[in-house]
Amino acid sequence: MAIKDVSFVVVCYNHARYADRVAHFLKHQNDVEDAEFIFIDDGSPDDTVVAFRRATEGWQNTLVHRQDNKGPSNALNQGLRQATRKYVKLVGGDDLLHPDATRLLHSNIKANNAVFAMGLLKAFDFRTGLEDTAYWENLMAEPGGGSATRINDPLLFLLKSMDFNPSCVLLDREVAMTAGGSDERIFVEDYSLCLRMALHGVFVSVAADVAYGPGGDEARLSFDGAQTLHDMNAALANLLRDQADFSRSLKNRITRSALGRGCNWARRHENAHVVSRINLLYLLANLRIGSWPLISTSETMMKAACEPFGRSRDIRRPIPEANTRGTRA
């Protein structure tokens, strides 16, 4: 059955070199007809806009929009606002979709009455793969399929795992907008959007490679582990601030998840001593006693959970609206 209710939202930054391949696999999604294509360029200093306009010349229902650089969270939300279809297939401007990606995610999100469907990401060699037609023909010939798992408690799932990429996601646009979209107080866009949508419905996970990302490309945002992990903890901290009615047990669980992430980073990258502050806070949180909030508040603990990443490198923040020509440092 033809799929006619999907908008593809592609967030781009310095992705000119990928434009032709990205566009090719967007246009060749099995069973997809009359799709909407929205490209949001987040103020790239290269020729990303020119490249994507050239690659999509003659396409129907297509918008290539350049905005001043405000960070990926803002760019994703701009794409959601521009989209008009029931479902949105997210795509990174340097990621390539398997021909069955949309079909697999679409069938499973509907079959499970879910608000969010996700598959798997596989790496390709960005140094040689882009121009090798035979390479892509062989890779994309692999059958798209895999079992699906319904996730009835997606917030609990997200506290345990974040093993997916935005390009592997199909979501219900209206629910995403109701949830508030991506948290624009944070630079990296994906985890905060997932957390917010987890409060609004069921997720489904599909065990299939639905997208391919350029492995080894150091310009890729996901290559920056400190930024990604910091922003995951920052997203959890903001979730706690925004959801004051969470039970104490859930607040404690969220705090333990964030502290564990920060503690692991400090041990690996700073050789943190067993009696370091973050280790002691993590131990305190895991005692699961009712009195620990009197000793150290959740706010204090969440701040401590974010700090180790900032000691490793400068953490990027969303660029204020007034800064119209900033770049991602």
Question: What does the pLDDT look like over 219-248, one tens digit per residue?
Answer: 565 556 889 899 999 999 999 999 989 998
Residues recorded for the chain: 329
Q: How far apart are CA 209 and CA 205, in angstroms?
A: 11
Beta-strand runs (E) in the chain: 6-12, 36-42, 62-67, 87-92, 96-97, 116-125, 148-151, 169-172, 203-215
- What is the average pLDDT across 176-190? 94
SS3 32: strand
How would residue 117 be classed by pLDDT, with cut points 50, 70 and 90? very high
Domains and CATH numbers, the chain: 6-223 (3.90.550.10), 225-312 (no CATH)
Closest CA to 302 of 247, 262, 245, 271: 262
Tokens at residue 260, please?
A: 């564990």
Closest CA to 260 of 304, 310, 311: 304
Does 322 have pLDDT greater than 50? no
Strands 116-125 and 6-12: what pairing?
A: unpaired
User: Would the pTM of this model clear 0.85, i.e. be above it?
Assistant: yes
- What is the average pLDDT across 16-32? 95
Share of the chain above pLDDT 70, in %: 86
How would residue 294 be classed by pLDDT, with cut points 50, 70 and 90? very low
Instruction: For tokens 């943190």, name the residue.
Output: 272
Amino acid code (one letter) for 273: H
Q: Which residue has the higher pLDDT, 247 or 325?
A: 247
How remote is the C-alpha of 81 from its chain's centroid?
A: 17
Question: What does the pLDDT look like over 195-227, one tens digit per residue?
Answer: 999 999 999 999 999 999 887 665 565 556 889
How would residue 32 be classed by pLDDT, with cut points 50, 70 and 90? very high
Q: What is the pLDDT of residue 180?
A: 97
If you average pLDDT over each of 114-118, 214-218, 276-280, 303-307, which comes out highest? 114-118
Closest CA to 9 of 66, 105, 77, 89: 89
Q: What is the pLDDT of residue 323?
A: 34
Mean per-residue pLDDT over the chain, rounded: 87
Instruction: For tokens 């119209």, name the residue.
Output: 324
% helix, strand, coil for the chain, step of 5 = 45, 20, 35
Q: Could you tell me the sign of the dihedral formed by the alpha carbons of 141, 142, 147, 148, in that order? A: negative
Does 33 have pLDDT greater than 90? yes
